[in-house]
Amino acid sequence: MANLETDFVGIKSPNPFWLASAPPTDKEYNVRRAFEAGWGGVVWKTLGSEGPPVVNVNGPRYGAIHGADRRLLGLNNIELITDRPLETNLEEMARVKADWPDRALIASIMVPCEEAAWKAILPRVAETGADGIELNFGCPHGMSERGMGSAVGQVPEYIEMVTRWCKQYYDRPVIVKLTPNITDIRKPAAAARNGGADAVSLINTINSITSVNLDTMSPEPSIDGKGSHGGYCGPAVKPIALSMVSEIARDEVTRGLPISGIGGVTTWRDAAEFISLGCGNVQVCTAAMTYGFRIVEEMKRGLSAWMDEKGHASVADVVGRAVPNVTDWQYLNLNYVTKARIDQEACIKCGRCYAACEDTSHQAIAMKPGRVFEVIDAECVACNLCVDVCPVEECITMVELASGSVDPRTGRTVEDAYANWTTHPNNPAAVTAAE
């Protein structure tokens, strides 16, 4: 069977599934239950300094976006970092690590952007035996108004400065957690690397307001008639997370920087996608909050079975395998030709493909008598919209035109199109040859 053990910047764990810094890792009770359920590691909920106390709201802390079937698609939270005493958290971390030496235990930290504050807390964290620290430069709400969280993560100079302090006063791995609330994720990642970070983790939550109560005219969750922006997470943010991870993995400056992937990981397939784009492990939060800690068993089984099927002996064999296939738009082969094909036996005649294509796309699907839907090749641009709106999986597929076929839209054969592509200025191979 595939080996799920990972060695992430020297931090070993029995599998790549870690719980992210969040309510599920807020206390010893939760973390012990997580380890008993089979999680490979946890990032303890973010610790603060012993300065002014952190006080969370006593009303609703979460808002949600649901699908039509009430499946949770996105979760918005306005909860702050831990409001439990620092000493209590440190004592619990030490006990858990002593009892579970084979599991990864990371301390997430957020203190004021002052060298003295970091110098004071790091030795105390080190005494717990934690395997490393994660610098929380991502939270977009509450703490950012105090000059921490994403307020630091949005300024590369601050990231580099604080990372240098941590590398100076702490002798174990330093992971920098990046905020997605920024235009170019490569810049904070480069700053973390310049500061000596051992790895980065991303994405943290996205600044958001998920809904407005139209009776009280206040954002949800509502606290005494008022609402605030919060952090958005869950399956809905996965595409954003994958894109940002890929940008770091393939950038010349940050390529090779170890990455812990976060953002909507709900299934083993999600995890495999993050790993294929360069992540050494993944962190999970919303899925655990939705389905409970036991979900990790399904994730482990699924990932192991897929790795066996594909012949991957270890997680390390998968890391980054998809990165070479991520490119910029101008390098896509514009002469690659596919057409939609409808499986008439699988078709349930709902007409969604026809309505979508006729009203909003290229009028490339005809409705014949008896509600039989057929693709008009001469109009089909292979946009894939019909595939995406069809409720029957694999009823509609995109099929590449075979060698010698004539594209009815252009009147050219596939060979002619490919011949043009070999000299096309968008083709990186052609550009290299010309140079």
Known catalytic residues are: 139
d(CA 228, CA 138): 17
d(CA 193, CA 163): 9
| DSSP-H helix ranges across 45-147 | 86-99, 115-126
Q: How many CB atoms lie within 10 A of CB 253?
A: 13
- Judge whether 260 and 200 are in contact, CB under 8 Å: yes
What DSSP string runs through 3-20?
A: B--EEETTEEESSSEEE-
Q: How many CB atoms lie within 10 A of CB 1?
A: 8
What DSSP string runs through 261-315?
A: EES---SHHHHHHHHHTTEEEEEESHHHHHH-TTHHHHHHHHHHHHHHHHT--BG
| Residue 326: both structure tokens together | 């991520």
d(CA 385, CA 113): 48
Please name every residue paired with 424 in a beta bridge, in sequence order, or none if there are none: none
> Side-chain half-sphere of 137: how many Cα atoms within 13 Å?
33
| Residue 66: both structure tokens together | 């649901």
> Side-chain half-sphere of 343: how many Cα atoms within 13 Å?
13
d(CA 362, CA 157): 48
| Residue 279: both structure tokens together | 């992540």
d(CA 380, CA 376): 6
CA 318 to chain centre: 17
- Judge whether 414 and 337 are in contact, CB under 8 Å: yes
What DSSP string runs through 332-347?
A: S-TT--EEEEE-TTT-
What DSSP string runs through 37-48?
A: HT-SEEEEEEE-
* β-strand pairing of 396-400 with 338-342: antiparallel
CA 35 to chain centre: 22
